[in-house]
């Protein structure tokens, strides 16, 4: 039997959202964004444009090819504390330099996938501890996958990577440098990407569409229709022909504005990440992706049992092989030096023994000569005191 709904005017129950708002404002929030994609797509510029401040440092383009020697994908973590109207957000930006930059990109997605799983694993271990206060939460709430604006479709590497990421994190496809494509080509490129995503059953983040507020519903529908988001990154202001100062890029044919919905989807993506659906991204990570990981692990492991690590970072393996090689060479050099020192000792010992034998023979000869002198003097009747 269902409980009846009783109206309680003036009791104060309606103030509970205000209480939760005060508690949440005081506590702040942790938000982690991962940017994934090939080098040179403007990931750092986009992050700095998104938060209107220099959160990530730019890399020296002259040193980009030096990373080719590593042949591995790295994980770089940048942390910052943002504050707006007394509300603080502890922001973490995860970058994946080296992804897709090599001729052979086989298994290049493994370090990225392993990092996401490791954050779920780390949080799950902290939840199993007797004291859970002060737990570190680095679970990725949104993964922006940057796609090169080729105008054709997704590459096999992008399809495989997005498949593996979509089941673990809120995946948001982003077309980088949208100002390099004509509007009609950009629209066709978007359609090709969405067709591949649907055909390959790639899971991407879709914000809740329906809402009690008609304006919110319209905004959500606009955001969903813009998927994948085309963005332009620019941290500097340029002057438009009508005298406005805007963030964008100046070309001979005109100005590509970052916050102009006609030019790109930057504002829609910013609204999705920060203004309208940040809480949904956090709760979806907690209730869906983390719970799926926890259930999978609890079904195959005993309580407190460590996770069997199947993936080994190639960079760590290369460093281990290099250290083992250096150690082996040092041991070989020490053995060679020891053998040389041992040979020198043997040679010196033989030389001393030979000198000792020579001196012993000389002493014997002198003793024999002295004995002859004794006999010779004794035969002549002379007495010689020894």
Which CATH number fits the domain that encloses residue 37? 3.40.50.300
187 and 121 housed in the same domain = yes
Residues 36 and 179 in one domain: yes
| Among 167, 232, 241, 164, CA closest to 205 | 167
Residue at 244 is within a domain: yes
The answer to whether residue 115 sits within a structural domain is yes
Which of 250, 276, 309 marks a domain boundary?
309
Q: Residue 376: helix, strand or coil by DSSP? A: helix
Same domain, 382 and 305: no
In a domain, 223, yes or no: yes
- The answer on 290 and 169 residing in a single domain is yes
Tokens of 317: 């393996």
Count other Cβ atoms within 10 Å, centred on residue 233.
Answer: 24
How many CB atoms are closer than 10 A to CB 245?
A: 9
Write down the pLDDT at residue 190. Answer: 92
42 and 61 part of one domain: yes
Say if 12 falls within a structural domain: no
Residues 6 or more apart in contact with residue 109 via CB below 8 angstroms: 73, 99, 157, 160, 161, 164, 165
Is there a contact between 33 and 141 (Cβ–Cβ < 8 Å)? yes
Q: Taking CA 95 as the corner, what is the angle to CA 159 and CA 233, rounded to the nearest 5 degrees?
A: 85
Task: Report pLDDT digits (tens) over 276-317.
Answer: 888 899 999 999 999 999 888 888 777 666 666 655 555 566
Structural domain boundaries, residue 347: 312-386
120 and 226 belong to one structural domain = yes
Quickly count: other Cβ atoms within 10 Å of residue 170's Cβ: 27
Q: Is the residue at 109 inside a domain? A: yes
Same domain, 236 and 155: yes
pLDDT of residue 202: 92
Over residues 110-138, mean pLDDT: 85
Domain boundary among 257, 278, 309: 309
Burial class (CB in 10 A: 0-12, 13-18, 19+), 210: exposed
The whole-angstrom separation of Cα 83 and Cα 275 is: 14
Q: Are residues 232 and 349 in the same domain?
A: no
Clarify whether residues 58 and 159 are in a common domain.
Answer: yes
Average pLDDT over residues 58-84: 66
Looking at 249, 282, 309, the residue that finishes a domain is 309
Is residue 378 in a domain? yes
The share of the chain scoring above pLDDT 90, in percent, equals: 18
Is 172 in a helix, a strand, or coil? strand
Average pLDDT, the chain: 82
* Number of domains making up the chain: 2
Among 55-69, 76-90, 305-319, 353-367, which is the least confidently predicted range? Answer: 55-69
Q: What confidence score (pLDDT) does residue 320 get? A: 80
pLDDT (average), residues 241-252: 86
pLDDT digits (tens, 9 = 90+) for 22-35: 777 777 788 899 99
Give percent helix, percent strand, percent coil of the chain, each to the nearest 5.
Answer: 50, 15, 35
**Using alpha carbons only, what angle is made at residue 196 by residues 165 and 149, rounded to the nearest 5 degrees?**
85
User: Is residue 98 left, alpha or beta, with left meaning phi > 0 and alpha meaning psi from -120 to 50?
Assistant: left
Extract the tokens encoding 216.
């919110």
Of 249, 163, 171, nearest in space to 204 by CA: 171
Same domain, 351 and 339: yes
Nearby residues of 39 by Cβ (< 8 Å), 6 or more positions away: 64, 97, 98, 101
CA–CA dist 268, 256 (Å, integer) = 16
Domain identity same for 197 and 328:
no
Contact by Cβ (8 Å): 74, 125 = no
> Are 292 and 346 in the same domain?
no
Name the burial class of residue 364, with classes exposed (0-12), middle (13-18) and buried (19+) by CB atoms within 10 angstroms of its CB: exposed
Separation of alpha carbons 43 and 101, rounded Å: 14
Split at pLDDT 50, 70, 90, the class of 191 is: very high
169 neighbors 285 (Cβ within 8 angstroms): yes
β-strand pairing of 87-95 with 76-84: antiparallel
Is the entire prediction scored with pTM above 0.85?
no
Q: Which of 140, 197, 141, 143 is nearest to 174 (CA)?
A: 143
Q: Answer whether residue 225 is part of any domain.
A: yes
Nearest residue to 290 (alpha-carbon basis) of 175, 182, 139: 139
Q: Which helix (H) or strand (E) holds 166?
A: helix 156-166
Query: 115 with 165: CB under 8 angstroms?
Result: no
pLDDT tens-digit readout, 125-179: 888 888 777 778 889 999 999 999 988 888 888 899 999 999 999 999 999 988 8
Residue 93 lies in a domain: yes
**d(Cα 143, Cα 166) in Å, to the nearest integer?**
9
């Amino acid at each position: 039997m269902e409980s009846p709904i009783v109206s309680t005017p003036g009791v104060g129950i309606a103030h509970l959202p205000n209480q939760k708002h005060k508690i949440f404002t005081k506590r702040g929030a942790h938000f982690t964004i991962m940017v994934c994609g090939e080098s040179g797509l403007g990931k750092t510029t986009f992050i700095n444009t998104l938060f209107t401040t220099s959160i990530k440092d730019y890399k020296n383009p002259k040193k980009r090819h030096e990373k080719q020697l590593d042949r591995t994908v790295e994980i770089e973590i940048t942390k910052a504390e943002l504050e707006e109207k007394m509300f603080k957000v502890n922001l973490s930006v995860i970058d994946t330099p080296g992804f897709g930059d090599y001729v052979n990109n086989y298994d290049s997605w493994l370090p990225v996938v392993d990092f996401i799983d490791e954050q779920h694993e780390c949080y799950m271990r902290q939840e199993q501890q007797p004291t859970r206060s002060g737990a570190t939460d680095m679970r990725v709430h949104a993964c922006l996958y940057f796609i090169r604006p080729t105008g054709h479709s997704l590459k096999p590497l992008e399809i495989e990577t997005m498949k593996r990421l979509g089941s673990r994190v809120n995946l948001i496809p982003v077309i980088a440098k949208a100002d390099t494509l004509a509007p009609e080509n950009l629209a066709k490129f978007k359609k090709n990407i969405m067709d591949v995503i649907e055909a390959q059953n790639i899971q991407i983040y879709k914000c809740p569409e329906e809402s009690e507020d008609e304006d919110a519903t319209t905004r959500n529908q606009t955001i969903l229709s813009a998927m994948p988001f085309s963005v332009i990154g620019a941290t500097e202001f340029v002057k438009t022909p009508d005298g406005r100062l805007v963030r964008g890029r100046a070309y001979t044919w005109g100005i590509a504005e970052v916050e102009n919905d006609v030019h790109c989807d930057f504002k829609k993506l910013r609204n999705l990440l920060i203004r309208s659906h940040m809480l949904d991204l956090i709760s979806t990570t907690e209730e869906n992706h983390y719970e799926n990981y926890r259930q999978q692990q609890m079904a195959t492991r005993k309580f407190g049992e460590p996770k069997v690590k199947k993936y080994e970072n190639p960079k760590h393996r290369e460093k281990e092989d290099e250290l083992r090689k250096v150690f082996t060479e040092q041991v070989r050099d020490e053995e060679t030096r020891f053998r040389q020192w041992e040979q020198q000792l043997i040679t010196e010992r033989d030389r001393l023994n030979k000198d000792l034998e020579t001196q012993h023979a000389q002493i014997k000869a002198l003793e024999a000569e002295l004995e002859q002198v004794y006999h010779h003097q004794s035969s002549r009747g002379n007495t010689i005191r020894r």
